[in-house]
Structure 1
């Protein structure tokens, strides 16, 4: 399968602005702070977190990555099959098709078996929504962000609190390519088989993280508040990875056919820069 790279305009880095304000996010976190240490701690009658023993240690607004890839595959092929053609004349003893004679197969519905070659064109589409931190977030949740909220393109990553993706550009391309290849094509001969990446976008969504300390046990818990929806995650994480320098779109989405054999086996292009950020 030949792979074609997208145009430069098809790749983009986009940031969502927070919809849920920090004050409302902190109020939500305070309501849920006793749940930051797990169910067992909350249900322990002898030693459970209480409002006066759980205190906010620090908070941050960070931007978490997810990938959106749109690709399609076009296949031109020939398929050799046999058509069962009904014979309408019950008195016919043979049927001639372009100089070839066929004898009807007897039965309640007489027919002839006609070998043909089908010249076919097929398009296969793939849409990938993938969390950039390799968490099992549902694709429909990530898609809902794109469908419901406006994201602004940026030529460089220079916003404080931006997390580098742990899933590399090359890996997400392989995922999309494998989905295209997974569609079986029933063909005797393939004349053209091309996969094209129409859109490759790296989205960043805002998340408020509040770290709480349970003073009587020394435990630490994190409450996350989605900066777009206000949804609460009680078993949150505190990520320490950050971009160490400003990264431009060209650096993140640099394409090079010479790297394809190492980053995208069998592909026609790959990414050189982003792999360094996700090692």
Structure 2
């Protein structure tokens, strides 16, 4: 048995002359919730499809549950593609049972599990409603349940939160946690950081076709300095207070705002205490995953812009 449900090594894919995925490697620990994050068009969907063996890479390999033949373990996988699709004339219960049957689940057991899932999510009122009569978000929930009704060991969800209202987003998060508690591994792609921050054990950031970060959410947030808001107890000359604060400190109203590295937090507190200005308010917080994501992507974009400028100068001088 492998410690990883998914192991991708050097996955690369061209569409014509365009390199859609560039040497992407990642390992998804068994039983974890793993997020593949990136802007639209970054290569997330193509990467997931290569990992699952839906499309072949031009370079690199993918292993599922330790094996090199993804198609041989398809019954252990639940996959929600980015492009949603259900038979509009089917009722929700039958649509879920049908998707389970495609993965070897007995039809009657599929119908029973469909009813149980829908009841758990508070959706029993639409269990016998036809797909064509459902809202887009409700139909998406039906397809999601159909993707996991056979109790797969690996669940792969491509942009699962897209198109869902806040209530159904909460239902989806509950399902993800439920399936992890059952022992499943969940791998999903998204460009909405809030879901990843709440759910993921580990993340990978893909930007400009390549993996730019891999690690925990806290490790991603640690790429940026701490954010500090300090309010002195007594109103004193701003210049006097500024002498004990970092040079990037900005004064707004009664408070000061600045960033600081972890290693400088304790010396800062010592300086504030020694200054005698006192503390009316002090908050020190780590930036959100959203901030770290934007930081990573902007660094990549800046590198590409610099390369493009350099190429243009070189061509002009040739």
TM-score (norm 2): 0.21
Higher percent of residues as strand: 1
TM-score (norm 1): 0.23
Higher percent of residues as helix: 2
Structure with higher Rg: it is 1
The structure showing larger relative contact order (alpha-carbon pairs under 8 Å, at least 6 residues apart) is: 1
